[in-house]
Amino acid sequence: MAMTITEKILAYNSGLEEVKPGDLVSPEVSVFLTHDVLGPDVADIFNRDFKEEFGKVWNNKRIVVTPDHFIPCCDVNVANRMVRLRKFVKEQNIVNFYPEGIHGVCHEMLAQEGFDLPGYVIVGTDSHTDTGGAHGLFSTGIGTTAGACVAASGVYPLLEVPESMKLTYDNKLPEGSYSKDLILKTLGEIGAKGALKKAMEFEGKAIEYLSLDQRRTICNMAVEGSAINGIIAPDEKVEYYVANAPKHKGLPKPKYFKSDKDANYSKILEFDAGQIEPQVSVNYLPADAVPVTKVEGQKVDQAFIGSCTNGKWEDMETAADYLEGRKVSKGTRLIIIPATQKIWYRALEEGLLDTFYKAGASVSTPTCGPCLGGHMGVLGKGERCISSSNRNFRGRMGDSESFVYLASPATVAVSAVEGKIADPRRYL
Amino acid sequence: MKFEGNAHVYGKNTDTDVIIPAACLKLDDKKEMSKHAMEGIDPQFTKRVRDGDIVIGGENFGCGSSREQAPMVLSMKGIGAVVAPSYASIFKNNSVEGGYLYPLICKEEIKASMGDRIRIDTNKHILENLTNGSSYEIEPLTEKEEILLKNKGLIEYTKKLIRERK
């Protein structure tokens, strides 16, 4: 039977010859990810329900713990929860723990530290776990109960195999448009539930041109169309990653899959990437994306470049390109947060932090922080922020009467310079 | 299963950030956290809600985050069932995996206002609005939901799975 890449990965990791959409499978989990927000609850559930009978987690080398959301601990509650999480990590001898100093935003940490290997099934207690799909793997977000069950058993029980939709992008993104604009445009076309219960499979010339950094931005936001996962077939860029990424003992071997030519798709959508303009999400919904020209001139109090969507190395480079020799507008705050310590350090070494400082930006240690209104840039009543992150839900970055626009790091950078939403194409 | 309670009616794409704002996830005291349920769009919710009440939502209910605290706080405030035409998958999974509430599906548009009296019988697949006399068909539970109900939740199901493998 012809299968899509998502179906093949789920079949392979479930020990089955084939699967079809709607089948309930319980695949072996290659890597399980958790962080400071849901991790302490995973630990509590494990200790309450599994510890007595089973003692240890299923595999101490295949669990990755990356505190990131409220890190470094932003208040006493978080600090006390982190005490519990660290205790769990120690008790269970979890090898891949990345505390402050070697920390970063969880999804970027998986990529940076060599866990995003093709053919894998990765589940994490974070909805943006779909990010890793850009490396030719199946990844999806789960809750705390499921997280504890995975930690105990090494399988994700009762996963419904999703139908796949194929999204094809011809040509090449024009200058000033980035992979963020491509995914926002796509979400704008399909809507917030356009990929409900589905796998979003991205392909085409425009995707092939993109680096893995840029591809991860696309898969990261599949969940904003309510997809189960986003996925891109692995190519030579993924092979290069596999050869050069850090290696870990006790992990399954990578395996390369691609969709059969006659695989079944519930929907096929075609885009001309050459026509994709810089996009901005409005109206409290990531999928409510409009061309930047529609909202150009709207005053912003804050601009944020960072998060699992756009805090990657190339995003820092893009921001620096647009900020070089320019100043943030008086009355607007620009907050830049590299996604990981290694990205932060590279930005220091290569002079990007210098550019950011001279532009008048505030640069912080890696954290999800402001993306979810956690800390390091929370919005007050009536404030407006343009952000390179992934969600602009009501109250997402702070007060329920604040307002968030989503855009690419380029659009955010030039908006910070003008103090109002601006079109990066004017700066080319 | 039978439910009877007052309706709390919300629109489409009701996201996890309005069900429970991310900043509240810092709280370790779950009871304290539950006081902020629906705060983003309905600050009166926690004052109005009673045990057994029912949330009637729009398309793509629970979109957004992985936070299991979303169905958890609704359940802690007494909500036994949510009824919507569709759900974001993580919210629906969390609702049943953690055994918090029934995420029921009704494809028809339910005519209901805040506070209407609602009765649901999942065996008969019927939702009745006792206030305005309208009634609707509820979809049967999914295979996964039936399995989890039979096995007393995902935790017990997983324990069995581990024992069988040993």
Chain B CB contacts of A129 below 8 Å = 66
A428 class by beta-carbon count within 10 Å (0-12 exposed, 13-18 middle, 19+ buried): exposed
Best A396, A402, A403 member to test B by mutation, with max B CBs in 10 Å, is: A396
Report the C-alpha dihedral over residues A80, A84, A85, A88, rounded to 10 degrees: 170
**Is the CB of B85 inside 8 Å of chain A's CB atoms?**
no
**Is the CB of B106 inside 8 Å of chain A's CB atoms?**
no
**Is the CB of B66 inside 8 Å of chain A's CB atoms?**
yes
Is residue B165 scored above 90 in pLDDT? no
* Amino acid residing at A291: P
Chain A CB contacts of B41 below 8 Å = 394, 400
- The token pair at A193 is 């539930």
What pLDDT is recorded for position B166?
80
Is residue A386 scored above 90 in pLDDT? yes
What pLDDT is recorded for position B152?
87
Partner-chain contact A193 B86, CB within 8 Å: yes
pLDDT band at A17 (very low <50, low <70, confident <90, very high): very high
Please name the residues in contact with A53: beta carbons below 8 A apart, sequence gap of 6 or more: B159
Is residue B150 scored above 90 in pLDDT? no
Is residue B40 scored above 90 in pLDDT? no
Residue A159 φ/ψ, nearest 5 degrees: -90, 130
**β-pair type (A289-291, A229-231):** unpaired
Least Cα separation, residue B67 to chain A (angstroms): 6
Partner-chain contact A145 B155, CB within 8 Å: yes
Chain A CB contacts of B154 below 8 Å = 145-146, 149, 157-158
Select from A81, A142, A149 the Cβ nearest to the Cβ of B66. Answer: A142
pLDDT, mean over chain A: 98
Select from B18, B26, B154 the Cβ nearest to the Cβ of A149. Answer: B154
pTM attached to this predicted model: 0.97
ipTM, 2 decimals? 0.95
Chain A CB contacts of B89 below 8 Å = 196-197, 226, 228
pLDDT in tens, A75-92: 999 999 999 999 999 999
Chain B CB contacts of A406 below 8 Å = none
Give the C-alpha separation, A140 to A344, whole Å: 27
Partner-chain contact B22 A155, CB within 8 Å: no
Report whether A362 contacts A336 (CB < 8 A). Answer: yes
Least Cα separation, residue A370 to chain B (angstroms): 10
Report whether A282 contacts A318 (CB < 8 A). Answer: no
What pLDDT is recorded for position A38?
97
**Is the CB of B28 inside 8 Å of chain A's CB atoms?**
yes
pLDDT band at A61 (very low <50, low <70, confident <90, very high): very high
pLDDT in tens, B5-19: 999 999 999 999 999
Partner-chain contact A77 B17, CB within 8 Å: no
**Is the CB of B149 inside 8 Å of chain A's CB atoms?**
no
CA-closest candidate to residue A26, choices A198, A159, A162: A159
Report whether A367 contacts A71 (CB < 8 A). Answer: yes
Q: Mean per-residue pLDDT for A368-382?
A: 97
Give the C-alpha separation, B57 to A74, whole Å: 34
Least Cα separation, residue B132 to chain A (angstroms): 30
The proportion of chain A whose per-residue pLDDT surpasses 90, expressed as a percent, equals 100
Q: Give the number of beta-carbon pairs within 8 Å between A and B.
A: 149
Is residue A62 scored above 90 in pLDDT? yes
What pLDDT is recorded for position A76?
96
Distances (CA, A) of B124 to B1, B79, B132, B138: 9, 20, 20, 8
Report whether B136 contacts B56 (CB < 8 A). Answer: no
Q: Mean per-residue pLDDT for A311-330?
A: 98
CA-closest candidate to residue A418, choices A315, A304, A310, A330: A330
Report whether A173 contacts A165 (CB < 8 A). Answer: no
Report whether A146 contacts A286 (CB < 8 A). Answer: no
Least Cα separation, residue A196 to chain B (angstroms): 7
